[in-house]
Amino acid sequence: MSAPILQTESLSVSFDGFKAVENLSITVDTDEVRAIIGPNGAGKTTLLDLISGRTAPTSGQVRFKGRELTGMREFQIVRAGIGRKFQTPSVYESLTVFENLEMSYPDPRSWWSAWRFRRSAEVVALIEQVADQVYLKDRLKDRAETLGHGQKQWLEIGALLIQRPELLLLDEPVAGMSVGDREMTAELLKNLSKGRAVVVVEHDMDFVKKIAHRVTVLHQGRLLAEGPMEGVQGDPRVIEVYLGH
C-alpha cells in the first residue's frame, strides 16, 4: 500500500469534561476503505467531525497528505480534498438531481463564480458521468425530494464525487437501506476507493465485511482494536464490548 493519506495523532476532544474522543492515533492509506465501528457513543461520528473540522480538537493533530488540518475552517478542509457525508441524507430537496450535483462542481466556489457560473459541456459531462456512477442517470431532471431514501444517500455521495475528493468520510451510508441497495452501495464504494481513501462509519457488520480492507474499533473514545475484519472479530475485548452492550 502507498503512503498514508490521513493521520491523526493523539487526538482528543472533550465537551464539558466528557471525553468524546481520547488520545486517538489512526492512519489511513490511499486506495484503502477503512471502517470505523464501535458501540453507540464510542466517538465514531465525533472522529469524523474532528477530521472534517466540524469540531475543534482539545488536543492532538490531524494530518492530511502531510498537511495539518486542525485550525482550518470547514470549507477549506473540503477544498483540500476531503468529502463528508452525514448520517441522515442531506440533499437539497427543492433542487433537481442535476442541480444538486452541479452545486458541488469545484469551481472557485465564491459568490462571484457562482453568479457568473455557466453550464459548460464539460460540467454536464462530469455530472452525467457521476450520476451514472451513483445509479441516478435517469433521475437527473427530478427534484431531489422525489427520490427514495437509498437514492438520496447515493445522490449525496455523488455530490461528494463531483468535488473530486481524495478522502471520503461516510457516516452510515447504508443506514435504513434495503438489502438490494446495500449491495449496490457496497459495489459503489469498492469502485470509489480507486485512487482515494474512504473512511466509513457503519454498524452493519456484513456490509463492513464486504467493503473494508481494515477495521478500527472504538470504545468510549479510545482505540480498542485495529486490523483486518477477521482478526478484529476474534478479538476478545471487541466481543466483550459488543456483547457487554
Partner 1 sequence: MHASLAIWIMQAFNGLSTFSVLLLMALGLAIIFGQMGVINMAHGEFLTIGAYTTYLLSHASEKWAPWLSKWYFLVAVVVAFSLAGFVGLLVEHLLIRRLYRRPLDTLLATWGLSLIMQQTFRSAFGAREVSATLPDWLMGSLKPTPAIDIPINGLFVMGLTMGLTALVFVLLFRTRIGVDVRATMQNRAMAGAAGINTGRIDRFTFAFGCGLAGIAGAAFTTIGSTGPTSGSLYIVDTFLVVVFGGAQSLLGTIASAFTIAQTQATTEFFMTGSMAKVLTLSAVILILMARPQGLFTLQLRR
Partner 2 sequence: MPTPHPSAQRANALRHLTTRLVTDLRGRENTYFLILAVLLLVAFPLFMDVFRLNLVGKYLTYAFVSLGLVLCWGYGGILSLGQGVFFGLGGYCMAMFLKLEASDPVSTSIQSTPGIPDFMDWNQLKALPLFWAPFRSFGFTLIAIAVVPAVLAALLGIPMFRRRVGGVYFAIITQAVASILAILIVGQQGYTGGINGITDLKTLHGWDIRTDSAKRILYYVNALLLLGGVGVGFSILRSKLGRLLVALRDREERVLFTGYDVASIKTFVFVLAAIYSAVGGAMFTLQVGFMSPSFVGIVPSIEMVIAAAVGGRGSLFGAIYGTLLVNFGKTYFSESFPELWLFVIGALFIAVVMLFPDGLAGIDLRGAILRLVLRVRGGRRPMAASAAPPAKGELSAEPAGSSGAGAVGT
Q: Closest separation between CB of residue 16 and partner 1, Å? A: 6
Decide if residue 49 touches partner 1 (CB under 8 A): yes
Residue (of 7, 96, 37) closest to 219 by Cα position: 37
CB of 196 to partner 2, least distance (A): 16
State the Cα–Cα distance between residues 189 and 181, nearest whole angstrom.
12
Q: Where are the alpha helices (DSSP H) in the chain?
A: 44-52, 74-80, 97-103, 111-116, 121-133, 149-162, 179-192, 205-211, 229-234, 236-244
Among partner 1, partner 2, none, what binds residue 84 when CB lies within 5 to 8 Å by partner kind?
partner 2
Q: Toward partner 2, which CB reaches closer, 121 or 243?
A: 121
* CB of 55 vs partner 1, minimal distance in Å: 7
153 binds, among partner 2, partner 1, none (CB under 5 to 8 A by kind): none
Torsions phi, psi of 114, nearest 5?
-65, -40
Under the criterion CB under 8 A, does residue 209 sit at the interface with partner 1?
Answer: no
Please, are residues 14 and 50 in contact by the beta-carbon 8 Å criterion? no
Rounded to whole angstroms, the Cα distance separating 111 from 172 reads 32
Q: How many residues bind partner 1 (CB under 8 A)?
A: 7
Determine which residue in the list 6, 20, 198, 212 makes contact with partner 1, applying CB under 8 A: 20
Q: Are strands 214-219 and 222-227 parallel, antiparallel or unpaired?
A: antiparallel
Which parts of this chain interact with partner 2 (CB under 8 A)? 52, 73-75, 78-79, 83-84, 86, 90-96, 99, 102-104, 106, 109-111, 114-117, 143, 156, 159, 163
Integer Cα distance of 26 and 37 in angstroms: 13
Distance in Å, CB of 1 to partner 1, minimum: 33
Dist CA 89 CA 149 (whole Å): 8
Closest contact distance (angstroms) between CB of 180 and partner 2 is 26
Does residue 55 interact with partner 1 by CB under 8 A?
yes
Shortest distance in whole angstroms from residue 100 CB to partner 2? 9
> Residue 87 contacts by C-beta under 8 Å, 6 or more apart in sequence?
45, 171, 172, 175
**How far is 77 from 71, CA to CA, in rounded Å?**
10
Q: Which does 52 bind (CB under 5 to 8 A by kind): partner 2, partner 1, none?
A: partner 2
Residue 54 in contact with partner 1, rule: CB under 8 A: yes
Q: For residues 29-48, which are near partner 1 according to CB under 8 A?
A: 46
d(CA 91, CA 100): 7
The site partner of 20 among partner 1, partner 2, none (C-beta below 5 to 8 Å per kind) is partner 1
The three grid cell numbers given for residue 30, joined into one nine-digit string: 490511499
Task: Note the residues at the interface with partner 1 (CB under 8 A).
Answer: 15-16, 20, 46, 49, 54-55
